[in-house]
């Protein structure tokens, strides 16, 4: 297993590489450009490599579904067909996307291909099988996530054909070593943290913030029940920024618990940094995570953050120093932690100040250099 660590590069050697970079081309392949962790990370890396002088192409496998904007220098390719939810449409989509990817990558003829996601890593490896292009892949789900049997089989067959595998955490890397041993070239590289905009004129309000998809593995119901169990809410509100399959059931739960006026659902928003600026506490109640992007963004925004110990938090925060950790799924424990933070502004401030240091550790340039080292040496 290769573990790429942050490298010190002096300015002269780094700037001199720009002329070399202009001769290199990188193709990034994403399931879509809609709101999501995979998409956000790939767009951030695409913009970085474009800035560094590479010829960068970006393939989105879903057409006309854009939440994130790419740098104007990045060439975007999308299929000329759409994916709908019907069974027949799904069955027809994957053979068509395999053919689309093979034709498009052959036309682009990049030096290397980078793709994220369990399913789409397998699809890209299948699409480009037998071609000369080195493909670098990365799972984005937690190692504990139960995959469908067919996908597990595909990964077992196709993953050893990848030129390299990016594990977001050492835990994920160890899991892949147990699965594949030396058949997979593994590098531990965290997600890049985009620049989180600061709004010093916006005052913090009594808001507990959740950002992400409303789905069972994210644990939004546990957060709501913890909020309901607070001994004294005293004007505090709970805001769920995002959407997902549990949206309507979460609204219904808030009504049943009699807290509908205290729980706000803004939906999908583009100006998420303004929500980070307004909030006073951030909670990630996920039961599992590959790499919690929204937690890192909230920390960079200076928010005191709370998470369960069921996610790989150890490489991101230290309990009691720059965040607080609660035993996995412990609703009462989360309520107790929230009460403590709500009652202690000094604690919120000290945790938030320490949390901001994560933007140095996960700086886009540092992470981009690690990816560059893996792919181009």
Q: Is residue 166 predicted with pLDDT exceeding 70? A: yes
CA dist., res. 334 & res. 284, Å (int): 11
Q: What is the pLDDT of residue 213?
A: 92
Q: What is the pLDDT of residue 302?
A: 97
Q: What is the pLDDT of residue 7?
A: 31
Q: Which tens digit of pLDDT belongs to each residue from 115-157?
A: 998 889 999 999 999 999 999 999 877 666 656 788 888 888 9
Domain with CATH 3.40.50.2000 in the chain: 11-192+362-376, 207-360
- Tell me, which fold does domain 11-192+362-376 have in CATH? Rossmann fold (3.40.50)
Measured at the alpha carbon of residue 66, what is the angle toward residues 140 and 104, in degrees to the nearest 5?
A: 75
Q: What is the pLDDT of residue 139?
A: 87
Q: What is the pLDDT of residue 20?
A: 53
Q: Which tens digit of pLDDT belongs to each residue from 85-98?
A: 666 767 788 899 99
Q: Which tens digit of pLDDT belongs to each residue from 243-290?
A: 999 999 999 999 999 999 999 999 988 889 999 999 999 999 998 888
- Tally of CB atoms within 10 A around 139: 23
Do the Cβ atoms of 177 and 241 come closer than 8 Å? Answer: no
Q: What is the pLDDT of residue 92?
A: 83
Do the Cβ atoms of 168 and 192 come closer than 8 Å? Answer: no
**Mean pLDDT confidence for 88-114:** 91
Q: What is the pLDDT of residue 351?
A: 98
Q: What is the pLDDT of residue 62?
A: 86
Q: What is the pLDDT of residue 270?
A: 83
Q: What is the pLDDT of residue 22?
A: 60
Q: Of all residues in the chain, what percent carry a pLDDT higher than 90?
A: 69
CA dist., res. 2 & res. 173, Å (int): 10
Three-state SS letters, 200-247 = CCCCCCCEEEEECCCCHHHCHHHHHHHHHCCCCCCCCEEEEECCCCCH
- Tally of CB atoms within 10 A around 273: 19
Higher pLDDT, 66 or 196: 196
Q: What is the pLDDT of residue 145?
A: 62
Query: CATH assignment of 207-360, given 3.40.50.300, 3.40.50.460, 3.30.505.50, 3.40.50.2000?
Result: 3.40.50.2000
CA dist., res. 137 & res. 24, Å (int): 19
Beta sheet of 207-211, edge-to-edge order: 263-267, 237-241, 207-211, 281-284, 305-308, 324-326
Three-state SS letters, 153-194 = HHHHHHHHHCCEEEECCHHHHHHHHHHHHHHCCEEECCCCEC
Q: Which tens digit of pLDDT belongs to each residue from 5-21?
A: 333 333 334 444 444 56
Residue with tokens 């469908």, as numbered in its chain: 148
Q: Is residue 339 predicted with pLDDT exceeding 60? A: yes
Q: What is the pLDDT of residue 146?
A: 58
| Predicted confidence band of residue 51 (pLDDT cuts 50, 70, 90) | very high
CB contact set of 129 (below 8 Å; sequence gap of 6+): 158, 161
Averaged pLDDT score across all residues of the chain = 89
Per mean pLDDT, which range of 48-57, 91-100, 143-152, 319-328 is the poorest? 143-152
Closest CA to 43 of 190, 186, 191: 191
Q: Which tens digit of pLDDT belongs to each residue from 230-241?
A: 988 999 999 999
């Amino acid at each position: 297993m290769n573990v790429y660590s942050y490298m010190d590069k002096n300015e002269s050697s780094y700037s001199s590489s720009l002329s070399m970079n202009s001769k290199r081309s990188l193709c990034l392949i994403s399931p879509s450009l809609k709101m999501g962790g995979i998409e956000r990370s790939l767009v951030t890396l695409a913009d970085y490599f474009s800035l560094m002088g590479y010829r960068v192409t970006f393939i989105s496998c879903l057409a006309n579904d854009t939440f994130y904007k790419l740098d104007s220098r990045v060439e975007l390719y999308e299929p000329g067909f759409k994916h709908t939810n019907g069974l027949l449409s799904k069955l027809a989509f994957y053979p068509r996307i395999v053919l689309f990817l093979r034709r498009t990558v052959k036309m682009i003829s990049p030096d290397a291909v980078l793709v994220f996601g369990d399913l789409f890593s397998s699809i890209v490896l299948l699409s480009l099988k037998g071609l000369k292009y080195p493909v670098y892949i990365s799972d984005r789900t937690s190692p504990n996530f139960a995959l469908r049997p067919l996908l597990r089989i595909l990964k077992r067959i196709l993953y050893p054909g990848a030129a390299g595998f990016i594990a977001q955490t050492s835990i994920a890397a160890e899991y892949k070593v147990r699965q594949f041993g030396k058949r997979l070239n593994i590098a531990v590289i965290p997600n890049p943290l985009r620049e989180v905009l600061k709004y010093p004129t916006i005052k913090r309000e009594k808001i507990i913030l959740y950002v992400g998809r409303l789905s069972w593995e994210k644990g939004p119901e546990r957060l709501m029940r913890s909020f309901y169990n607070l001994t004294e809410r005293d004007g505090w509100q709970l805001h769920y920024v995002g959407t997902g399959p549990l949206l309507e059931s979460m609204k219904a739960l808030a009504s049943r618990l009699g807290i509908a006026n205290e729980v706000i659902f803004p939906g999908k928003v583009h100006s998420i940094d303004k929500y980070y600026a307004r909030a006073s506490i951030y909670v990630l109640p996920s039961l599992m995570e590959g790499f919690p992007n929204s937690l890192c963004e909230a920390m960079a925004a200076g928010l005191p953050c709370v998470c369960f110990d069921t996610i790989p938090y150890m490489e991101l925060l230290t309990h009691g120093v720059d965040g607080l950790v609660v035993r996995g799924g412990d609703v009462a424990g989360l309520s107790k932690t929230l009460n403590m933070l709500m009652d202690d502004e000094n604690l919120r401030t000290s945790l938030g100040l320490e949390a901001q240091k994560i933007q140095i550790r996960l700086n886009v340039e540092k992470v981009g250099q690690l990816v560059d080292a893996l792919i181009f040496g």
